[in-house]
Amino acid sequence: MNVCILSGKGGTGKTTVAVNLSVLLGADYFDCDVEEPNGFLFLKPENVVSEESKVDYPVFDKQKCLLCGNCAGACEFHALANTRQSILLFPELCHGCHACELVCKPGAISYAQRTTGRIEKGEAHGNRCARGVLNVGESMAVPVIRKLLGGLPENGNCLLDCAPGTSCNVTAALKFADAAVIVTEPTAFGLHDMLLAAELLETRGIPFGVVVNKSDGKDEIIESACTARCIPLFGRIPFSRMAAEAYSRGKLLANLPEYRAPFESIAQSIREAFAWN
Amino acid sequence: MKIAFSCTGTDDTARTDPRFGRCEAFAVADTETQKIAYMQNAAQSAAGGAGIAAAQQLIDAGVKGVLTGNLGPNAFRVLSEAGIKAYCIGEMSVPEALAAFMKGGLAPIGEAGNAHAGMRGGPNA
């Protein structure tokens, strides 16, 4: 089973929940937030190996190219322009989708690859962990996420720590999801974006529940919304300075005596809800 | 010769627009007949590559000169390779801009302004 951890709003604690649950559930961890992967700061994996992540870009055979411009017209991302002197390529906009090849009648297009990021794999706490890292200056996270998750084990137990929001960077990971957890916080922004994430998961038919991080013990704003929509509440993680300090030092909250029980309880709720393990 | 202005609408009440890739429309003027035609900028709400797509639209329309405020590096590269000259123009009505071009002396845009990704820098970025 693959469980995606998402949030809508950034900074609610996806990684905090994902890394601690990875340890408690004995699940492999995949950091899909490739624009700013930070799970390894907490898991501190060993034996890390790195592999480049590449995307295709078109190369034009000038002997064959008729400068018809069909390729530029077909490019949804405006990565190509037909100046009537040559076809210009803007590699940073090219998604490597090969649409240009489909419409090139003289067959003037072949492909080369450029590196836009890397995949790192290691081991921590007896689990496999991996992350995608998008190179600075690159804007396309999805190819790196696809490559990262292309290596998901069959029949494994995996936690996929997703990007914030509900964009392509999230949906690229959701393609691999059997279930999901939304991590939110008891604020108006947390609620608003949690509902966006919930709507996304509902349209995909992915079962999910909610974890409230930075809980003040009341969490009425989240609780009432979950009750109204029949969304299960998997648990709460109390707000405290101690948690913030441990986080800022890269420590796992589940190792703090005060936080062991809340995380155990969340892990148990997830086991039951998704029939995990 | 056909020249194009980035502008705010598709009739003679339109003003020139300092934005290139994200402008509302382009006015295409014939310098011989002084006739002005308007076309929507198809790239205005493109997710990305708006400057490139807008430049492509003007190449396809057969223009030889562009009058605008700022050109990003990608649009500048496309127009340069196509042999289209770009000039800087202030904010005014389209007929006034055509008159300014005919008078001559407009500053050519010789290098691109700062790149910006989509509209994340705000509408005036």
Q: Is the pLDDT of residue A220 over 70?
A: yes
User: Rg of chain B's alpha carbons, rounded to an integer?
Assistant: 13
> What is the per-residue pLDDT across A246-268, written as a single tens digit (0 to 9) for each?
999 999 999 999 999 999 999 99
**What residues of A are in contact with residue B61 (Cβ under 8 Å)?**
none
Q: Quick check: is B118 in a domain?
A: no
- At residue B12 the predicted structure's pLDDT band, cuts being 50, 70 and 90, is confident
Overall number of domains in chain B: 1
Q: Is A70 exposed, middle or buried (0-12, 13-18, 19+ CB in 10 A)?
A: middle
Interface of A with B in 100-119 (CB under 8 A): none
The residue of chain A nearest to residue B50, with distances taken between CA atoms, is A78
Q: Is the pLDDT of residue B16 over 90?
A: yes
Q: Quick check: is B115 in a domain?
A: no
Q: Quick check: is B112 in a domain?
A: no
Q: Is the pLDDT of residue B119 over 60?
A: no
Record: contact A78-B55, CB cut-off 8 A: no
Q: Quick check: is B81 in a domain?
A: yes
> What is the per-residue pLDDT across A123-135, written as a single tens digit (0 to 9) for each?
999 999 999 999 9
Q: What is the CATH number of the domain that holds B64?
A: 3.30.420.130
| Residue A83 at interface with chain B, using a CB cutoff of 8 Å | yes
The C-alpha atoms of residue A232 and residue A226 are separated, in whole angstroms, by 7
Residues of B with CB under 8 A from a CB of A: 43, 46-50, 52-53, 55-56, 59, 74, 77-78, 81-83, 117
- Helix axis angle, A220-228 relative to A188-204, nearest 10°? 20
pLDDT of the residue at A81: 98
Domain that holds residue B41: 2-103
Contacts (Cβ under 8 Å, ≥6 apart) of A108:
A60, A61, A62, A63, A64, A65, A66
Tell me the shortest Cα–Cα distance from B33 to chain A, in angstroms: 26
pLDDT of the residue at A19: 98
Residues A158-181, mean pLDDT to the nearest whole number: 97
Q: Which residues of A184-215 are buried (b: 16+ CB within 10 A; e: fewer)?
A: bbbeeebbebbbbbbebbeeeebebbbbbbbb
Query: Which pTM does this prediction carry?
Result: 0.84
The C-alpha atoms of residue B65 and residue B85 are separated, in whole angstroms, by 5
- At residue B53 the predicted structure's pLDDT band, cuts being 50, 70 and 90, is very high
Q: Quick check: is B69 in a domain?
A: yes
Residues B40-48, mean pLDDT to the nearest whole number: 92
- At residue B114 the predicted structure's pLDDT band, cuts being 50, 70 and 90, is low
Q: Is the pLDDT of residue B10 over 80?
A: yes
3-state secondary structure of A252: coil
Q: Is the pLDDT of residue B117 over 90?
A: no
CB nearest A78 (choices: B53, B77, B81): B53
Which residue type is seen at B89? I
Record: contact B56-A81, CB cut-off 8 A: yes
Q: Quick check: is B13 in a domain?
A: yes
Whether ipTM > 0.90 holds is no
pLDDT of the residue at A277: 66
* Mean per-residue pLDDT of chain A: 96
- At residue B116 the predicted structure's pLDDT band, cuts being 50, 70 and 90, is low
Q: Is the pLDDT of residue A65 over 70?
A: yes
What are the structural domains, with CATH classification, of chain A? 2-53+117-273 (3.40.50.300), 62-107 (3.30.70.20)
Cβ pair A122, A47 in contact under 8 A: yes
The C-alpha atoms of residue A267 and residue A39 are separated, in whole angstroms, by 18
pLDDT of the residue at B122: 39
pLDDT of the residue at B115: 67
Residues A44-52, mean pLDDT to the nearest whole number: 98
> What is the per-residue pLDDT across A135-151, written as a single tens digit (0 to 9) for each?
998 989 999 999 999 98
